[in-house]
């Protein structure tokens, strides 16, 4: 009888756990069907926003504009890249940008500061879904972002370069578990075998090399490759400040949320409602990422909010200033974290010696440690509060990663860890893990569309309708700029059909390889992935279970 009761108790516990998991999944599913609404007031304070741009903080037109050629909803890096390309091609456009809170204070002002693709992680999944050629094209598009963003900063000038702190670093994926690294090596070897040109700058470090060279005493190995780091908010605000100076027809309207959109078939225009009045335009572009389905109901449970957490921490005594050399991703048994370090600063002392001060450690992640395997973060659009479990993880892990400082009980840790700021942001997760870029079908907007495909404007034409570039799944810095650049060219009339064979194999112009051309010099169908297009078929097939399964590793 005792054995029977023991088995019964075991079964009861197992059923209770299953029931708890079902309840949790049901709660997640219910959240995803709701509108994300508008960004909340009084978000947590991001280090990147200290201080906000004095030119753009609280910027509003004295009289709210009533009409424009194009209305853009959202003001982050996607909107910035979109505006830059639109005005590069037609300086006479009349454009109004509506932002619910401060300009560029959403995800772009709250992220990790990386320009880093994980090519060998992405490639196997993409190959399985789309085949070798399409997978290689998507990875190449993402890898190309650092060179393109660096070129933009250089074109904008020295002030933009200095403010944005954009720089090339060696991206290091550091593993702390043998089985996790072994799995990663299977992906890495497949990617390297299929696309050797993409992989030519990547190397694998064994445990001893990683521990010595990267100052990570518990590493079991690492994968290293080219990457970038920057201050995203300041890159964008430097560009936006220049654009409003150069283009009087550009209006940035902060604290002006778009609460509704209506289509008027008699005028073939859209009317966007805000607390400050209404504005009409033949073309509306959504760059709101996590909040996209607020005004695009067909994207409910397709592009979903996800709460992320970041911190700015003082560097430890004794750790070399590494911000100009490396960025880091730490892969644990479950989940991962990401780290950049701001560049070191040098102060000249009265005796003519220099004191070098290492930059802040910009450390984020902890989603897997947030409780319920991160499921509580799915559908969470709250950036006004911290997750206390993620906060504890981010506040305490770096001492043990780098292992500097004093020894205590056999574990080397830092003395006096100081967290300067900690904040949350809301990521826009695409359930099929690809951005949604292009013209939005009426079935997704649930509104009408102009029958006329384009309208004449000063300086050229503009394609009508609603468009979007959203759902970057936490990888905005290797998706946003190219997606926005491509979208701008589509809105101005360039057609995008099926991708053609790329004319070049190399990722970037290193070592004098002048045959590598920038996006601006190449037709869209040679470099922009057709798989990112918005279609009714894709909306129907995109399943949130794919995203959840990927997060949980099942």
Q: Please, what are the domains in the chain?
A: 68-112+233-302+432-496+533-552 (3.50.50.60)
Per-residue confidence band for 5, with pLDDT thresholds at 50, 70 and 90:
very low
- The per-residue DSSP string of 50-73 comes to SSPPTTTTT---SS--SB-SEEEE
Higher pLDDT, 521 or 238: 238
Per-residue pLDDT tens digits for 129-182 = 999 999 999 999 999 999 999 999 999 999 999 999 999 999 999 999 999 999
Average pLDDT over residues 225-236: 98
Nearest Cα neighbor of 490 from 524, 455, 527, 444 is 524
Q: Is 112 helix (H, G, I), strand (E, B) or coil?
A: coil
Contact 127, 133 (CB under 8 A): no
The answer for residues whose C-beta is within 8 angstroms of residue 38's C-beta and 6 or more apart is 100, 257, 259, 291, 294
pLDDT of residue 30: 83
Q: Global pTM? A: 0.93
**How long, in residues, is the chain?**
554
For residue 549, the 8-state DSSP code is H
H/E segment holding residue 233: helix 232-246
Residue bearing the bigger pLDDT, 501 or 361? 361
Pull the structure tokens for residue 312: 């700015």
Q: The tokens of 194 are what?
A: 């299929």
Residue 226 to residue 509: CA distance in whole angstroms: 13
Q: What is the per-residue DSSP string for 458-509? A: TTEEEE-EEEEEE--TT-GGGTHHHHHHHHHHHHTT----S----S---SS-
Q: Cα-atom radius of gyration of the chain, to the nearest Å?
A: 24
Task: Encode pLDDT of 262-305 as tens digits.
Answer: 999 999 999 999 999 999 999 999 999 999 999 999 999 999 99
Task: Average the pLDDT over each of 49-63, 379-393, 442-456, 495-509 and give the range with the smallest value.
Answer: 495-509
Do residues 378 and 552 touch, judged by C-beta distance below 8 A?
Answer: no
- Give the per-residue pLDDT at 505: 64
User: Residue 424: is its pLDDT beyond 70?
Assistant: yes
The pLDDT, as a whole number, for residue 37 is 96
pLDDT cut 90: percent of the chain above it = 77
């Amino acid at each position: 009888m005792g054995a029977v009761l023991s088995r019964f108790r075991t079964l009861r516990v197992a059923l209770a756990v299953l029931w708890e998991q079902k309840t949790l999944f049901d709660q997640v599913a219910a959240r995803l069907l709701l509108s994300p609404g508008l960004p909340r007031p009084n978000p947590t304070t991001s280090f990147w926003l200290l201080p906000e741009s004095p030119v753009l903080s609280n910027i509003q037109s004295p009289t709210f504009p009533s009409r424009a050629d194009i209305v853009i909803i959202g003001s982050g890096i996607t909107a910035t890249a979109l505006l830059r390309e639109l005005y590069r091609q037609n300086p006479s456009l009349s454009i109004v940008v509506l932002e619910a809170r401060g300009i560029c204070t959403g995800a772009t002002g709250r992220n990790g500061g990386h320009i880093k693709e994980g090519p060998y992680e992405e490639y196997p999944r993409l190959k399985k879904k789309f085949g070798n050629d399409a997978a290689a094209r998507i990875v190449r598009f993402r890898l190309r972002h650092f060179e393109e963003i660096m070129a933009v900063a250089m074109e904008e000038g020295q002030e933009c370069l200095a403010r944005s702190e954009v720089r090339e670093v060696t991206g290091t994926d550091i593993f702390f578990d043998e089985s996790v690294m072994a799995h990663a090596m299977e992906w890495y070897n497949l990617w390297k075998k299929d696309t050797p040109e993409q992989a030519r700058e990547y190397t694998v470090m064994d445990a001893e090399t990683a521990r010595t060279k990267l100052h990570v005493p518990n590493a079991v190995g690492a994968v290293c490759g080219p990457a970038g780091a920057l201050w995203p908010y300041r890159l964008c605000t430097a560009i936006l400040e220049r654009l409003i100076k150069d283009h009087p027809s550009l209006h940035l309207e902060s604290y002006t949320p778009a609460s509704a959109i209506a289509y008027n078939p008699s005028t073939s225009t859209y009317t966007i409602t805000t607390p400050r009045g209404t504005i009409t335009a033949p073309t509306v572009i959504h760059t709101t990422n996590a909040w996209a389905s607020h005004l695009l109901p067909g994207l409910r449970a397709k592009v979903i909010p996800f709460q992320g957490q970041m911190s700015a921490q003082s560097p430890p005594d004794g750790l070399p200033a590494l911000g100009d050399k490396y960025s880091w991703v730490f892969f644990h048994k479950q989940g991962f974290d990401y780290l950049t370090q701001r560049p070191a600063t040098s102060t000249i002392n009265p005796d003519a010696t220099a004191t070098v001060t290492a930059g802040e450690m910009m450390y984020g992640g902890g989603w897997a440690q947030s409780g319920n395997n991160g499921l509580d973060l799915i559908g969470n659009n709250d950036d006004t509060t911290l997750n206390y479990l993620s906060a504890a993880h981010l506040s305490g892990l770096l001492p043990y990663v780098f292992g500097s400082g004093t020894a205590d009980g056999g574990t080397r840790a830092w003395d006096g860890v100081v967290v300067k700021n900690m904040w949350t942001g809301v990521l826009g997760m695409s359930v099929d893990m690809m951005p949604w870029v292009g013209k939005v079908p009426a079935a997704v907007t649930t509104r009408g569309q102009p029958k006329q495909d384009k309208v004449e404007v000063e300086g050229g034409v503009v394609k009508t309708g609603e468009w979007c570039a959203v759902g970057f799944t936490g990888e905005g810095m290797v998706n946003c700029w190219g997606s926005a650049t491509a979208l701008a060219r589509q809105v101005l009339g360039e057609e995008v059909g099926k991708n053609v064979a790329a004319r070049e194999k190399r990722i970037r112009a290193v070592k004098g390889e002048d045959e590598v051309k920038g996006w601006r010099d190449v037709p869209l169908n040679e470099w922009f992935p057709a798989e990112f297009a918005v279609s009714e078929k894709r909306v129907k097939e995109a399943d949130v279970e794919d995203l959840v399964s990927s997060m949980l590793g099942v």
